[in-house]
Amino acid sequence: MATCPACSAEVGPDDLICYTCGSNLPKTRRSDSDTDLPITVAQKAVVRPKQPNGGISSTVLRITFPAGNVEVPAGTSVLLGRDPAESLVAAAFEGCENVSRRHALVTVDDAGRATIRDENSTNGTFVNADRLLPGLDVRIVDGDLIRLAADVTGKVALPRHEPDPAALS
């Protein structure tokens, strides 16, 4: 286990940020045997979502990008972009010059419904090939394709959870 250089908290070997203080972690060299493994970029909220009986869905949206996965738990948002000071998942877009520093905001509400909003990006945000108007929230569902600029495409995975019949009474 490694430690964060900013706060000395324990961090995982593949973590891109310290989930205690939010600092970006230095990249480590991966061995050749690891090159075929996907890199997971997960946004972990400081406040964990409540359990389903507490009113917040346990749904997690996952967007699979070529550089790794971005996960957004219910009741949270994540900014997609290249600026590590703004985006917890900036490492997923490192080297993607077409992606703006603050490109798009993905939000999953407490009920598990997901939206994406273009943050006035230079080269646009697209859902299923349709360009989004900046500042307008657009609903995204399981199977949608999200494209940032010209060449960074991710597939949305958003499982549907049927309501628990016991909770309806």
Q: Read off the pLDDT of residues 124-152 as tens digits, 9 standing for 90 and up.
A: 999 999 999 999 999 999 999 999 999 89
Confidence (pTM): 0.64
Query: Among 119, 69, 109, 115, which Cα is nearest to 89's?
Result: 69
| 55-114 pLDDT, tens digit each | 555 668 999 998 888 889 888 999 999 999 989 899 889 889 999 999 999 999 988 899
Q: What is the CA radius of gyration of the chain?
A: 17
Whether 79 is covered by a domain: the verdict is yes
Whether 87 is covered by a domain: the verdict is yes
138: containing domain: 38-47+57-163
Whether 21 is covered by a domain: the verdict is no
We report the CATH number of the domain holding residue 96 as: 2.60.200.20
φ, ψ for residue 33 (rounded to 5)?
A: -70, -15
